[in-house]
Amino acid sequence: MTTLKAGDKAPSFSGLDQDGNTVTLDTFKGKKLVVFFYPKASTPGCTVEACNLRDNYQTFQAQGYDIIGVSADSAKRQQNFKNKYELPYPLIADEDKSVIEAFGVWGPKKFMGREYDGIHRTTFVIDESGIITEVITKVKTKDHTAQIL
């Protein structure tokens, strides 16, 4: 699991969003940023989490936050997820897992007695100068906005 903690400098990252646009940490320089990692687009828990952030997007914006979602899904799958649920923020299609590994959220997981490698649902809150202010590892998908703000 991630070794990053509050007070650490956020990893410099570069990934392509659902439309093929490059998204980097520098894209958000001078702004607060919420980076949420989720296992798979359009699955029940990920949908609830993404929609909770969508429904509170204006509140985030009012407080100076931008949001980006990251999973190892393809750009097409991210595009479908974004369109279907009208998500107002970019989704990084991190198929090579470079962003996922930079943040250290890839690793062994257990589900129904089976062990496999996958993305740990984790959210990082980053300040205007690129410093992590909070790492949320126990994400409450239905009430994620309250956890962040």
pTM of the complete model beyond 0.75: yes
Q: Is 35 helix (H, G, I), strand (E, B) or coil?
A: strand
**Among this protein's residues, is 46 annotated catalytic?**
yes
User: What element of type H or E holds 33?
Assistant: strand 32-37
CA contacts within 13 A on the Cβ side of 42: 11
Residue that the structure tokens 């702004």 belong to: 31
pLDDT tens figures, 50-109: 999 999 999 999 999 999 999 999 999 999 999 999 999 999 999 999 999 999 999 998
Contacts of 25 by beta carbon, 8 Å cutoff, 6+ apart: 10, 11, 12, 13, 33, 126, 130
Cα distances (Å, whole numbers) of residue 103 to 13, 66, 92, 133: 9, 18, 14, 14
CA angle 133, 70, 63 (to 5 degrees): 45
Catalytic residue among 10, 23, 35, 46: 46
Which candidate, 90, 86, 85, places its Cα nearest to that of 69?
90
What percent of the chain is modeled with pLDDT above 70? 100
